Amino acid sequence: MSALTNRGLIMRLVDAYDAFNEKVTLFFLRFVGPPSVERTARPVVVTAEDRARDAELRGGFERVVGPDGRPYLVERD
């Protein structure tokens, strides 16, 4: 068998696998449908109270990197 014949055999196997993969995908699409890319969750409404709490937390703590390279929060003085 020459290298050209081996390559032809491999290409036929790849094509058969691709065809099988496409058939399996189409089969499952019957049940689950196409992927949904739209946002399904309701948008979160941020209140003034939430903003105040966030500002307080950000002002009360400081991010510090430890000797091991991991960041952590410490309370500001």
Per residue in 18-42, pLDDT tens? 999 999 988 988 888 877 777 778 8
- pLDDT, residue 35, reads 75
Domain that holds residue 70: 3-75
Closest CA to 23 of 35, 37, 15, 36: 15
∠ CA 58-60-63, nearest 5°, is 65
> What average pLDDT does range 44-69 have in this prediction?
92
Question: From CA 15, how far away is CA 8, in angstroms rounded?
Answer: 10
Average pLDDT, the chain: 86
Q: Determine the residue type at 73.
A: L
- pTM given for the model: 0.37
**71-75 and 61-65 strand pairing:** antiparallel
Instruction: Using the Cα atoms of residue 67, residue 69, residue 70 and residue 75 in order, give the sign of their dihedral.
Output: positive
Count up the domains in the chain and report the number: 1
